[in-house]
Amino acid sequence: MKISIVGSGAMGSLFGGRLALSGQNVVLYDVYEEHVDAINKAGLAIEDATTGQITLIHPKASSDPQSVVDSDVLIIFVKSTNTEEVAVKFKEFVKPDTIVLTLQNGLGNEEILRTHFGPHRTAAGVTSQGATFLGPGKIRHAGKGPTHMAMSDGDSKKLDALATALEAAGFEIHVERDVAGMIWSKLLINVGINALTALLNVKNGQLLDYTDAKSLMADLVTEAVTVAKARGIHLTYDDPIATVYEVAQKTSANASSMLQDFQKSRQSEIDFMNGAIVREAKALGILVPVNEVLTRLVRIMDLIHTKKEA
């Protein structure tokens, strides 16, 4: 089985690297040529945040889109703001039975991929794994947890081979049927953590050190739960606020993806996270003032960081 990672930053390198280490035929595709060159020349170094141990892996890396030709699986890890572009670019390279799996953050990626690849080839997943990009050819495995995935057409049998490969690579995998509930359950965690860590410039666990930060987390999640219930979404956990606190603790050493975007002056995925809650709430006539304020603040910071004019 050939598995190609499209977007091999921190998370893509983690999954691709571990799959390669377990013996899978893996290609790490990324547009960051320094990262690609470093992997091809010296290997991919994955540092364990808990033990400090470094594992050196030698997967194939490429900046050529044609490197993914004949892949049985594409795992999409690009920023949500680039999903549409990637779907258009890679559509010509997939086979009729290629599975295209999004393990990205936020709401909207599965819909984009389903539009281009069809529900019979599209899968969506969420993961509690955490990773930080340290530099070309180097990442830190900053948090561990289960990964859930489901086919958009409900035919979970199509994911059996991939699930087996991911489990052999050391990941805890659960194949599900409910795509929407899975995505929204992860979305609420992102909503409660990512924007706050970016605006406050702190790692996930540091949010729990401040009473006001915890209160804001609870407010953000409570608003999002209201929207999810109005949409008829069934969450995968009973206590959303406690779950968000627990994830922040388990990934305490991790710099969230949005914080990493701020640090690298890249556009954030706010419109696929808190902004998605605002968008869904408006369609339902629900007020979500805390999410709206944070969304506006992050959008302003995006303009500042990327030196764009408002």
Please indicate whether residue 2 is annotated as part of the active site. no
Q: Are 37 and 160 within one domain? A: yes
Q: Are 239 and 167 within one domain? A: no
Q: How many domains does the chain have?
A: 2
Q: How many CB atoms lie under 10 A from the CB of residue 235?
A: 18
Q: What are the beta bridge partners of residue 26?
A: 3
pLDDT-flagged residues of the chain (< 50): 309-310
Q: What is the pLDDT of residue 310?
A: 44
**Residue range(s) defining the domain that contains residue 244:** 181-305
Query: Using one digit for the tens of pLDDT, what is the confidence trace for 139-164?
Result: 999 888 889 999 999 998 999 999 99
Kindly give, in sequence order, each residue whose CB lies less than 8 Å from that of residue 186, ignoring residues fewer than 6 positions away.
105, 126, 127
Q: What is the pLDDT of residue 308?
A: 54
Report the CATH number at residue 143: 3.40.50.720
Q: What is the pLDDT of residue 257?
A: 87
Residue 240 maps to a domain:
yes
Residue 310 maps to a domain:
no
Per the residue annotation, which of 186, 229, 250, 307 is the catalytic one? 186
Query: Using one digit for the tens of pLDDT, what is the confidence trace for 82-139?
Result: 999 999 999 999 999 999 999 998 999 999 999 999 999 999 999 988 888 999 999 9
Q: What is the pLDDT of residue 78?
A: 96
